[in-house]
Amino acid sequence: MNSPMLQKLVELRREFHKCAESGWLEFETTIKIITYLDKLGLEVRYGKTIHGKRQGLPSQEKMDAHKKLKEHLKCDFDVEEIFQGYTGAIGILDTKTPGPTIALRFDIDANDIMEAQENHRPAKEGFSSEHKNMMHACGHDGHIAIGLATAQYIVSRKNDLKGKVIFIFQPAEEGVRGAKSIVQSGILDRVNYILSGHIGFMGKENEIICGVGGFLATSKLDVYFKGQSAHAGAYPEKGRNALLAAANCTINLHTLTQYSGGMSRMNVGTFHAGTARNAVPAEAKIELELRGETQDINEDLRSRVEGMIEASAKMYGVSCEIVEMGSAPAYKYEKNDFSTYVVKLLEAQGFSVSEGASMGASEDVTYLFQEVEKNGGKALYLIFGTALSAPHHHPSFDFSEEVLEASVRCYSKILLNLLMKQEAAVSK
């Protein structure tokens, strides 16, 4: 380890990697985060107070099963709402001196992936996920460590600062489910600046990309078709085949993505139907997502998708139900005085900085960004470049842990320069 800070960051990252938990099931993760924030002396909010309406909840059976695994955890605060799926936590540092309010968002959930064992560093060094089909395959374990270490450093300098810092540890980013609920809590109503970021992706090792945009609008939908079962040999005409309705729908949905005004995407990712080979299938379910380069494209595509679903159901005489499981708006980065300020600041500190990049994917932090900008604030997304052992969302994903310290230094330097009681050296 190159420094005590990096050693602590690695320990934190590996602690959270071991207890990887999927969206809305981050029970142990949330309890650990609250415990750390409380020790720092921050005002801590969690449970229903930080949420509005949640999207894409796991089944009650799955939630109860995971709760059983975690009921032994000991803490000196009430965890009832956490075990109901109101996960995540917010830590607030209020200096009581007038100044800007800055929010930082860190996502905390894992992927529904079984972690690789062979030739995988977490397995070799003893910090693999303890949970079947739950793995930090996108670096959110690193984001948690970065957030907690940044909070610790800023608290150590609080007497030199003005304003307020809000550390948001957001659940359920995967599937774009958690941010909208956080926004509805009102925590961002008076925020002047919001920062967030991600390790890896298009960033080169030791590079910081300042000002990432190109986030696609997206909708995640579950579709249920309900027909009528019947004996497939004796009375097939008495049945109403939900499987055929879903299959017809699936094929035709993939013809809808032709748009001249920007990129669009449509994908049916899962298909479940039927109960027996000799029964007309009465039920079917498909899980799909759609994306658009702009909000208008996504909304138009969604309208056409819903029309196709309803037409397929009608064709086979079955009913259908469409349930939204997650969503995020599009977000386009536009260079402004705040981003220019941050670029100059980081370059002055010796960081290798590039400006502007397109994510080409979806991220529900865009809900938070839109809320802050709607109220006149500024938003900025950063990419922290690092070497990867495998792509994001891969069973063998891992990253170079040195990126953790660079990320903390980056966030801390931005916060200090915005919040110092004395004027910052770099002009805004």
Split at pLDDT 50, 70, 90, the class of 417 is: very high
Q: CA angle 416-40-45, nearest 5°?
A: 95
Cβ atoms of residues 29 and 16 within 8 Å: yes
Which segments of 15-100 are extended strands (E)?
A: 43-46, 89-94
CA-nearest of 424, 419, 427 to 192 is: 419
**And the tokens for 24?**
């809305």
231: DSSP letter: B
Q: If you count DSSP H runs as helices and E runs as strands, how many of each does the chain have, helices first?
A: 11, 12
Q: CA angle 159-344-399, nearest 5°?
A: 85
pLDDT at 52: 97
pLDDT at 428: 43
State the average pLDDT for the chain. 96
Cα separation, 363 vs 179, in Å, equals: 9
Residue 16 CA to its chain's centroid (Å):
16
Number of residues that this document lists for the chain = 428
Split at pLDDT 50, 70, 90, the class of 341 is: very high
CA 200, 218, 87, 365 torsion: positive or negative?
Answer: positive
Q: Which fold does the domain 220-327 belong to in CATH?
A: Alpha-Beta Plaits (3.30.70)
Tens digits of residue pLDDT in 235-252: 999 999 999 999 999 999
pLDDT reading at 203 higher than 90? no
pLDDT at 423: 57
What is the percent of the chain where pLDDT is above 90?
A: 96
Cα separation, 243 vs 44, in Å, equals: 48
Return the bridge partners of 111, or none.
135
Tens digits of residue pLDDT in 385-406: 999 999 999 999 999 999 999 9
CATH architecture of 4-215+331-419: 3-Layer(aba) Sandwich (3.40)
**And the tokens for 426?**
């770099």
Average pLDDT over residues 363-380: 97
Tens digits of residue pLDDT in 310-319: 999 999 999 9
Average pLDDT over residues 280-286: 98
Average pLDDT over residues 162-182: 98
**And the tokens for 4?**
């005590």
Average pLDDT over residues 45-55: 97
Split at pLDDT 50, 70, 90, the class of 142 is: very high
Cβ atoms of residues 273 and 264 within 8 Å: no
pLDDT at 113: 97
Q: How many CB atoms lie within 10 A of CB 135?
A: 26
pLDDT at 421: 80
Tens digits of residue pLDDT in 292-304: 999 999 999 999 9
pLDDT at 1: 47
**And the tokens for 366?**
């865009």
Cβ atoms of residues 168 and 103 within 8 Å: yes
Residue ranges per structural domain of the chain: 4-215+331-419, 220-327
Burial of 148 (0-12, 13-18, 19+ CB in 10 A): buried
